[in-house]
Amino acid sequence: MIKVRKLIKRFGLKPVLRGLDFDVQQGEFVALLGPNGAGKTTFLRILASLSKPSMGEVWIAGYRLPQQAGLVRRALGVVSHQPLLYGDLTAEENLHFYGRMYDLPDLHARVQEGLRIVGLYDRRRDLVRQYSRGMQQRLAIARAILHDPEVLLFDEPHTGLDQEASAMLDSVLREIAARGRTVVMTSHDLARSVDLASRVDILSKGVIAASVSASELDPVRLPELYRSVTHD
């Protein structure tokens, strides 16, 4: 579903990604770990077609970036640090707005289903500016899955959430994974990554330095593996 070969990204003369290779099969949930400055957000922005690579090849859902960026975007749902919602609209109104951008059929039914998946159906007519940070993040996920994308990208979705909101977000992510969607999530939370993902990849010095199936990984040993490949 995602195929990346020899990906290089430079900012001026500074290399951030240094020949990165990356593969994700349909239905996999990959947690991408790495220290600050490792290039996680830069990599996700390239996958999301928001930034162009300096060199290398990227395919998502059979389409090539950046040449087929428009087709890739229709196959993607993206949740970043900013929820990209309108505070003076209700949850329903926000999702209807984005759904019309995709010209989605059966839009009302899709909006209601998305709100139920993320646990916001009972608050669907509240203004988004009245939502907590955790509720906004859940609504951002409803926005991202509204057009039923094949691939979902999450850039540290738990950032700024309290323990209760993080637990609720975990349940939403599990629901998404159970529906067979392909997920890539960046995170600093090692334990949560092992709990949620089917695979853990560690990005260090611009390449994937380790890749381990979560089922084969002892959560107690993950910090040791992380330190050994990142020297962090």
Tens of pLDDT, residue by residue over 160-185, are: 888 888 898 899 899 999 989 999 99
pLDDT of amino acid 82 = 84
Q: In CATH, what is the architecture of 1-75+153-162+182-232?
A: 3-Layer(aba) Sandwich (3.40)
- CA-based nearest residue to 73, from 152, 156, 182: 152
Share of the chain above pLDDT 70, in %: 100
Q: What is the pLDDT of residues 191-204, one digit of tens each?
A: 899 999 999 999 99
- What mean pLDDT is reported for the chain? 93
For residue 186, give Cα distances in angstroms to 91, 116, 131.
Answer: 26, 25, 24
- What confidence tier does 219 reach under pLDDT thresholds 50, 70, 90? confident
pTM: 0.93
pLDDT attached to residue 114:
94
Contact 1, 26 (CB under 8 A): yes
The answer to whether the CB of 147 falls within 8 A of the CB of 178 is no
In this predicted structure, the answer to whether residue 232 has a pLDDT above a threshold of 80 is no
Q: Where exactly are the structural domains of the chain?
A: 1-75+153-162+182-232
